[in-house]
Amino acid sequence: MAVVKPFKGITPKKALASKVASLPYDVMNREEAKEMAGDNPYSFLHIARSEIDLPEVENPYDQIVYETARKNLDRFIAEGTLETEAQPIYYIYRQIMNGRVQTGLVGCTSIDDYMNDVIKKHEFTRPAKEIDRIKNFDHCDANTEPIFLTYRKNDEINLIVNDWIKFHMPTYNFISEDDITHILWKLDDLSLVSRISEIFDGIDYLYIADGHHRSASSVKVGLMRREQYPDYDGTEEFNFFMSVIFPDEDLFIMDYNRVVKDLNGHTQDDYMKLVSEKFDIEKVEQAEPFKPMTRATFGMFIDNAWYKLTAHKGVYDENDPVDRLDVSILQKNLLDPILGIEDPRTNERIDFVGGIRGLKALEKRVSNGFAVAFSMYPTTMDDLIDIANAGEVMPPKSTWFEPKLRSGLFVHRLF
């Protein structure tokens, strides 16, 4: 059963919330982060990407980067930019994008649940990518960014959340520069706080939607604290990490498309013949890019034309939750055997384009030198949960969630 608990959040002063809130650390590089923060001294990027406040450093994991993050966090608190809650509560975080609403509870989840697979994963993590957040969380002695979790919807939790929203004014309500609305309520009725925790105690599993590296980093920092404090009793804050937990019905996964630099030595005619062995190929006579609307179909943009690819029966196992994913079908039957993309995690000839950028972005990449682009049918929430329940992992770049959680709206101290 899932352990979910309230916490004393560290949140922005109401008047500064829109200035503090930033995109998560991993959707930008240093230069982009510096530009996003601009001349805004309140941007949470001064904590999440503290290297923007330093001259160029040769080692991005240099100690001074994380010492600066801690200094900035302490300064934000001392100056009143961030304020600490008086008692443990839950928060309700709502995002609205293009009229679509997703509403989650902000609380803390258990590192033991992560290790015991009550919190289920669907991706591998790479230790090298965990180092940065481990150092950030460790030096700040805080979870500076939340994990994005989901669960099968629960009617009682929905009722509590919806009633609270109906009868209470939000603490924050602002529109970020990417035209996404962010609304936050403090759910501070202690009887409801207790009831929410009880309900989650009856929920079998939570699922990581986005943030596998952040969650792994949070757990490793918690284990470090257990080594530092061997007399811990399990109630200490370092035994938990901050999460935003959404019901599955609210979440939306966008397509995660592919572009490849060359045809792996094939002529275009030979390439098309090889593709036809596993896919039906149909030229698309339309002005707009081809967007797949059903499983096992793909758009392919090559030589300034769009084609619809439909996988032949028998090239994938319909009963295997991983093999039947469209990203798996394309990888196993085209990208690997024809284009030589054996490991898309490491092969520099392939790149990935999130659906938020639109399919015109695929045409642009091809016009700028890539050989071929593929538009994908998106992975579904049922796919994600089925694969996690089976203890399997998805191929890389299988899911693109929008909108992204904003960083800086809540921080969880580990002490």
Give a yes or no: residue 392 inside a domain.
no
Give a yes or no: residue 102 inside a domain.
yes
168-222 pLDDT, tens digit each:
999 999 999 999 999 999 999 999 999 999 999 999 999 999 999 999 999 999 9
Give a yes or no: residue 393 inside a domain.
no
Domain co-membership, 247 together with 273? no
Domain co-membership, 227 together with 263? no
Go through 153-182 and write b for each residue having 16 or more CB atoms within 10 A of its CB, e for each that does not: ebeebeebbeebbeeeeebbeeebeeebeb
Domain co-membership, 14 together with 34? yes
Give a yes or no: residue 75 inside a domain.
yes
Residue 41 structural domain: 4-252+402-413
147-156 pLDDT, tens digit each:
999 999 999 9
Domain co-membership, 245 together with 215? yes
We report the CATH number of the domain holding residue 301 as 3.30.1760
Give the C-alpha distances (Å, rounded to integers) separating 379 from 19, 155, 294, 328.
34, 25, 11, 11
* pLDDT band per the 50, 70, 90 thresholds, residue 126: confident
**Rounded Cα gap, residues 223 and 414, in angstroms:** 12
Nearest CA among 25, 9, 15 for reference residue 81: 15
266-314 pLDDT, tens digit each:
999 999 999 999 999 999 998 899 999 999 999 999 999 999 999 999 9
Strands 90-97 and 100-110 come out as antiparallel
**Rounded Cα gap, residues 287 and 5, in angstroms:** 52
Q: What total number of domains does the chain contain?
A: 2
88-100 pLDDT, tens digit each:
999 999 999 999 9
Domain co-membership, 260 together with 248? no
Give a yes or no: residue 397 inside a domain.
no
Domain co-membership, 223 together with 312? no
Domain co-membership, 296 together with 341? yes
